[in-house]
Amino acid sequence: MTALDLSDWTVSLDLWGTLIVHSDLPAVVDWRVAEFTRVLQAFGHNVSAAKVRDAVTATDRLALDRQRHDGMQPTLGELLAGILAPLGVEPTAELIPVLEVVHTHAALRGCPRLVDGAEDALRALVTTGARLVLTSNTLSTSPQVHRQLLDDLELAPFFVDMLFSGELGIAKPRPEVFATVAERAHSTTAMVVHAGDDWLTDVRGALDAGCRAVHYRPTGRPARRGAPAITALDQLVDALSIACHPAIAVPSSELQ
């Protein structure tokens, strides 16, 4: 299928799980726990790595759940306070800046890499004339670190705009996120199509905001009604064309 002219459209893309993934996800938590423990002990707090791990994982789990279901974006200070509170550690002005560096850079220890076909898919999208925007939820990893990572992976030049929940103060699936995508494009949500791997935050969030959507499901999870589904990024341009111009849609089986 030949890609259609999408020059009137803004194509919004999710980042984690869609364009990049961790090569070693457990290393992220392991490094953060080890460094948190080391720093806390250096500041005179006798806490075990096991207790730090419990506090880190519980805080991450709660923050992610609130983000995915309610679009709540915790601040870095709130995340660190959530970790320190069950450890009985006061978040002092001397301690917090040290922990901030550990917290925001931990994701790099997982050796983020491109999803197979990501760069080719972005190049193909550029040829459609669409306005490409990155729309990413962030938690522990700061927007600044994300931008450096995108530079290192040579993805940044593909995008005319980048929206991070850590800067917006809200997260997908909140409709205001997608409204901001349209506003910054001087367009409307009806002319925005968002692609991502999370049904709740990426697909349902986009549709509820009045956008179109494409569901990327690389693990082959069963497709759901409501949006074109793909299992590989080399199907992305065709799926976006179908989402934007459903009258010419091809059978969904050709995209899976």
Tell me the pLDDT tens digit for each residue of 101-153.
Answer: 999 999 999 999 999 999 999 999 999 999 999 999 999 999 999 999 999 99
pLDDT tens across the length of the chain (256 residues)? 454 799 999 999 999 999 999 999 999 999 999 999 999 999 999 999 999 999 999 999 999 999 999 999 999 999 999 999 999 999 999 999 999 999 999 999 999 999 999 999 999 999 999 999 999 999 999 999 999 999 999 999 999 999 999 999 999 999 999 999 999 999 999 999 999 999 999 999 999 999 999 999 998 777 788 899 999 999 999 999 999 987 654 444 445 4
Residue 19 in 3-state DSSP? Answer: coil
Q: What's the CATH architecture for 10-23+112-255?
A: 3-Layer(aba) Sandwich (3.40)
d(CA 115, CA 216): 12
Structure tokens that stand for 206 in this block: 């986009």
Q: Note the pTM of the prediction, 2 decimals.
A: 0.92
Q: Are 194 and 174 in contact (CB under 8 A)?
A: no
Helical packing angle, 143-152 and 95-105, nearest 10°: 40
Q: What is the pLDDT, as a whole number, of residue 251?
A: 46
